[in-house]
Every structure is written in C-alpha cells, then in structure tokens.
C-alpha cells in the first residue's frame, strides 16, 4: 500500500495547506481509531483541533459503548457530513477493515458528491467504492479470532493513520530532525520535552537558560526556536 498511501498523504498536505480538513470516518473500532488519531494531532503538532476530525457512527457515545447497528446508518453519515459542511477543500478518509460498512461507504460517496477528495482504508482487497479516489489496502490476512478486526486489522490501521498525519504535518513544518518543534509546554512532561529539544538544537544552553527562553515565549516551543534563531 506504500505508493497509494504516499499519494493520499500528498493530497492531505495540499488540502491542509489550502485551509482544508482531514476527516476520518468509521464505525466501531475503525471509527475509534480515526477519532484517536485526530485527537492526538493538536498536542503533537500544535494543530487547530478543527483541521483533523474523526467521525464515528453513533457519535461520541459510541466511543465507550458499542453501537454495531449504527454502522448501517447511511443517512446518519450524510447528516454528519452536512453538519460539518464538507466541501471541495476537504479530504475524507473512510476506514472499514472489511470494506463493506454502509456508514463508511455512504460517507465516501456523499463526500465525493460534495466535491471533497474521498479515500478508503481497508484490510480486504476490493475495487474502489463509488466516489473513492484513493484506495489503500492493508492486507493483514486472517485474524487469530475470526472476524475480530480490532486485532491485526486494527493495529495496522492505526499505524497507517499515524503515518498519514505524521508525514503530512512533517511536510507542513511541524517536525524538524525527528523533533516535535511545534508544541506548547502545557504540563510538566511537555515542559521537560521542550527543554530537551531546545538544548538539542542549541547545545550551548544550560537547562535554566532553556527554561527561561521558553517562558519568555509563553511556553511556545516553535516561537522560542524562531526567536533564538533570529538573535543568533
């Protein structure tokens, strides 16, 4: 799936650069994985929470309580896209391990009708569904527990989603040399990480000096780095 995934990432980068959004859509485990990846983008890349979104059949309640019946709710998918005003600036990625989830297929077709780029990530070889421009097939083979796609399929899907956002935001300048340079030090762990990143980029800094520079920039690591580079 390498070339197909790379092509999708380039599409996502183009959309985000133009002010569009990446929207994951799924049901059950697939939906939860999309919501998870979307929710991790703001703390990891200091991205606007509205730029990467996750939709799950059944809404937020389905994150905690299984709602299998709602994966057949095509109308619900259409309504969710309508509420978000999905359009030509956006990229929608439908996630369906088996490739047949009506909620996901309905979202893909509706997103395409609205002018968005629609893609699908699945673990079952198949032809692209109507409206799908990018088809990513992650061939994982049979599950240890037959039909339980939260196992191999879920693990591989999570890696694919992580790859999409990590590579995309890296290309958008959020990462430098494997370091998360665009972050806010909003807790003790992140403050320590920011200090270590500063000292790696500016080896002459002592820890107290790095902390002072970070505080002078309101705990914004990227702003700290840019200010120090301008003054050097």
Enzyme catalytic residues? 40, 71
Helix residue spans in the chain (DSSP H): 2-17, 28-45, 74-83, 102-113, 152-171, 188-201, 207-216, 221-231
- C-alpha distances out from residue 91 to 73, 144, 167, 190, 230, Å: 21, 33, 16, 30, 36
Kind of pairing between the strands at 175-176 and 179-180: antiparallel
Kind of pairing between the strands at 91-95 and 179-180: unpaired
Name which of 121, 153, 150 is nearest 140 in CA terms. Answer: 153
* Structure-block tokens of residue 74: 């095509």
Largest pairwise CA distance in the chain: 60
* Structure-block tokens of residue 119: 């893609």
Burial class (CB in 10 A: 0-12, 13-18, 19+), 229: exposed
């Amino acid at each position: 799936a390498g070339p197909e995934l790379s092509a999708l990432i380039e599409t996502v980068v183009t959309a985000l650069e133009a002010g569009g959004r990446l929207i994951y859509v799924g049901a059950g485990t697939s939906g939860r994985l999309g919501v998870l990846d979307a929710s991790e983008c703001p703390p990891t890349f200091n991205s606007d929470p509205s730029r990467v979104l996750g939709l799950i059949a059944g809404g937020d309640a389905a994150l905690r309580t299984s709602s299998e019946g709602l994966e057949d709710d095509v109308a619900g998918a259409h309504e969710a896209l309508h509420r978000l005003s999905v359009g030509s600036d956006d990229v929608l990625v439908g996630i369906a391990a088996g490739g047949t989830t009506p909620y996901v297929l309905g979202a893909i077709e509706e997103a395409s009708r609205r002018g968005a780029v629609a893609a699908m990530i699945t673990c079952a070889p198949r032809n692209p569904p109507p409206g799908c421009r990018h088809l990513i097939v992650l061939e994982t083979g049979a599950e240890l527990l037959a039909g339980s796609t939260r196992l191999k399929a879920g693990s591989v899907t999570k890696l694919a989603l992580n790859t999409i956002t990590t590579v995309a935001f890296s290309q958008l300048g959020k990462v430098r040399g494997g370091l998360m340079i665009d972050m806010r030090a909003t807790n003790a762990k992140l403050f320590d990480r920011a200090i270590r990143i500063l000292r790696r980029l500016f080896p002459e800094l002592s820890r107290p000096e790095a902390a002072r520079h970070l505080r002078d920039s309101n705990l914004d690591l990227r702003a700290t780095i840019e200010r120090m580079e301008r003054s050097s």
